[in-house]
Amino acid sequence: MIPVSKPYLPNREKLQKYIDSIYENAWLTNNGPLMQELTRRLEAYLGVENLLLVSNGTLALQVAYRALGINEPINGEPAEAISTPFTFIATASSLKWDNIEPVLVDIDAKTWCLDPTLVEAAITPRTRAIVPVHVFGNTCEVEAIDAIAEKHSLKVIYDASHAFGVKHKGQSVLNYGDAATLSFHATKLFHTVEGGAIVFKHKADLERAKKMINFGIASPEVIDEQGINAKMNEFQAAMGLCVLDEMERNISSRKEIWHRYESALADKYQLQALNSDISYNYAYFPTVFESEEKALAFQDSLKANGVVARRYFYPSLDQVSNQNFKVSGETKNSQSIAKRILCLPLYCDLDIDEHVLPFLNE
Could you tell me the strand order of the sheet in which 278-279 lies?
171-172, 167-168, 278-279
Distance CA 300, CA 37 (A): 45
Report the alpha-carbon angle 51-187-257, nearest 5.
Answer: 105
Cβ neighbours, 10 Å, residue 48: 19
Cβ neighbours, 10 Å, residue 87: 26
Distance CA 231, CA 213 (A): 6
Whether the CB-CB separation of 198 and 205 falls below 8 Å is answered with no
Q: Name the catalytic one among 167, 188, 211, 231.
A: 188
The yes-or-no answer on residue 210 being catalytic is no
**29, amino acid identity:** T
The residue among 143, 178, 145, 138 whose CA lies nearest residue 160 is: 138
Distance, CA of 142 to chain centre: 15
Neighbour-count burial for 187-200, b at 16+ CB within 10 Å, e otherwise: ebbbbbbbbbbbbb
The residue among 339, 300, 284, 296 whose CA lies nearest residue 316 is: 339
Distance CA 39, CA 241 (A): 10
Q: Give the total residue count for the chain.
A: 362
Residue 298 bridge partners (DSSP) = none
Distance CA 292, CA 308 (A): 17
- Concatenated DSSP letters of 301-315: HHHHTTB--B-TT-S
Alpha helices in 106-227 (DSSP H): 142-151, 203-212
The residue among 331, 275, 319 whose CA lies nearest residue 122 is: 331
Distance CA 184, CA 166 (A): 15
Active site residues: 188
